[in-house]
Amino acid sequence: MTKPLKPQSNAMLKRAHENMPLGVADSYRYWGEENTVFLSSMKGCTITDCDQQTFVDFRLAYGPIILGYRDERVDNEVINAITSVGTISGFSTGLDSDVVELVKSLCPNIDKMRFANSGTEAVIGAVRTARGFTKRNKIVVVEGGFHGLHDEVMWKSDVDNWEVTDENAPEIIPFGAGIPQSTREHQVSVPLNDFKAIDTVFAEHGHDIAAILIEPIMGNCGSIASTQAYMQKLRDACDTNGSLLIMDEVKTGFRVAKGGAQALYGIYADLTTYAKAMGNGYPIAAFGGKANVMDAISFAKDGVTHGGTYTANMVALSAAKATLTVLKETDALETIATVGQKIQALLSRVFTKFDIEHCFAGPDAMFGVHFGSEVPQNYRDWKKTNSDLYTQFALNLIDNGVMLEPDSREPWFICEAHQTVDLKWLEQVAEQSMSAAINAQ
């Protein structure tokens, strides 16, 4: 059981309130005045807060940690790059092509690539390139997908305030203030796995659709996944209409398979975004795809502009090279999948013991847990699950030393270091946490 009193955390938050809005550097890190977490160290699959409480972590910074915190195979390469080359120069080095060639060896969907510093930047680059290549404006996005924090994609279906019995679609709302209504002008939203909606959108807007932007497995929606048939539908619709298919693999890339989600489906995008697991926690991202599409980036009068001061810096590239080499040359992803399977099995035993209908969504490396009888097929289906019970269960897990996001829209992320977790202990903790969650109802 974690400590009821957290003097260091409380003091850290009080100080931070004097320096940052909400007392945090990222709004999603604010968990309230009593529960906002301040860490003192991370190692392997555990994190320790400033009150010396240690947690087994299945949040993993929303997915970047694929090998484990402070993995020496990666960190040593970064240190070597800093001490032997430097961090940033505003020029190129051979590391640029080293990393691209590694990605190309794993991902047949990539001919050429450009780097970025975050998933948000990668999506911006991919969308701009798609528009520059097609000379069109509209982007089709899928309800429940998350594509970063830039205005144009910060519009969402308000499923939280939507009733499942309502025949009308959920209202599309901005994430918050400061997002101009005009940024919605060229975005069209459709439900996942809905063939009719795709036909309707292309019939109405096809002449101006530059691309479909989709997470094949939705990393902010409980790992709800596209069906094989739906992904083929999107591929065919884009080919017929002269639009591009952009797969956002910021979360799935180099995590769910060596070639990402596209390796699982066998269906390939025109453009793909990567980040997170690409560098085991270092700030690296990229977008890339077909050579003729990427070559829209040029100094020509009608060419696409892309750049960034910190793009392809030595720290990021050395981390990516080391991480991708480990993933390519070892069985790390197989280990991760096996651990994920074992954890799902023990959770299932616990849920069954308490007669909780449940199902898992997505791949073993980032699985979603849904309390209901059927795997959700889209964001609106998620609303039918018992997410309140899940939240209470998750909060109890945190109290018992297991860290995760207390929202069933966030998956359980697994890293290679989780192979050291005592699964018997984890099952006991899960049982205690579910018992308390049920008693609290």
How many angstroms separate the CA atoms of 267 and 255, rounded? 17
Render each residue's pLDDT in the chain as its tens digit; 441 residues.
Answer: 566 789 999 999 999 999 999 999 999 999 999 999 999 999 999 999 999 999 999 999 999 999 999 999 999 999 999 999 999 999 999 999 999 999 999 999 999 999 999 999 999 999 999 999 999 999 999 999 999 999 999 999 999 999 999 999 999 999 999 999 999 999 999 999 999 999 999 999 999 999 999 999 999 999 999 999 999 999 999 999 999 999 999 999 999 999 999 999 999 999 999 999 999 999 999 999 999 999 999 999 999 999 999 999 999 999 999 999 999 999 999 999 999 999 999 999 999 999 999 999 999 999 999 999 999 999 999 999 999 999 999 999 999 999 999 999 999 999 999 999 999 999 999 999 999 999 998
How many angstroms separate the CA atoms of 337 and 223, rounded? 15
How many angstroms separate the CA atoms of 210 and 104, rounded? 25
How many angstroms separate the CA atoms of 408 and 390, rounded? 6
**pLDDT tens digits, residue range 130-162?**
999 999 999 999 999 999 999 999 999 999 999
| pTM score of the predicted model | 0.97
**Radius of gyration of the CA atoms of the chain, in A:** 22
Per the CB < 8 A criterion, the answer to whether 304 and 297 are in contact is yes
The listed CATH number (3.40.640.10, 3.30.43.10, 3.40.605.10, 3.30.420.40) that belongs to domain 72-329? 3.40.640.10
Spacing of C-alpha 26 from chain mean position: 16
How many angstroms separate the CA atoms of 67 and 44, rounded? 8
Q: Is 291 exposed, middle or buried (0-12, 13-18, 19+ CB in 10 A)?
A: exposed
Parallel, antiparallel, or unpaired for β 112-116 and 412-413? Answer: unpaired
Per the CB < 8 A criterion, the answer to whether 371 and 357 are in contact is yes
Instruction: Report which residue type is found at 436.
Output: A
Q: How many helices (H) and strands (E) does the chain have?
A: 13, 18
How many angstroms separate the CA atoms of 119 and 111, rounded? 19
Instruction: Report which residue type is found at 173.
Output: I
The tokens describing 135, both together, are 């000379």
Per the CB < 8 A criterion, the answer to whether 113 and 287 are in contact is yes
Sign of the C-alpha dihedral, residues 252, 255, 259, 263? negative
| CATH, domain range 37-66+331-439 | 3.90.1150.10
DSSP type of residue 7? H
DSSP type of residue 312? T
- In 256-331, which ranges are continuous DSSP H helix? 261-265, 291-294, 314-329
The tokens describing 333, both together, are 């992803």
DSSP type of residue 332? H
Q: What percent of the chain has pLDDT over 70?
A: 99
Parallel, antiparallel, or unpaired for β 412-413 and 366-370? Answer: antiparallel
What pLDDT shows up at residue 441? 83
What pLDDT shows up at residue 5? 82
Domain ranges in the chain with CATH number 3.90.1150.10? 37-66+331-439
What pLDDT shows up at residue 4? 76
If DSSP codes are grouped into helix, strand and coil, which group holds residue 418? Answer: helix
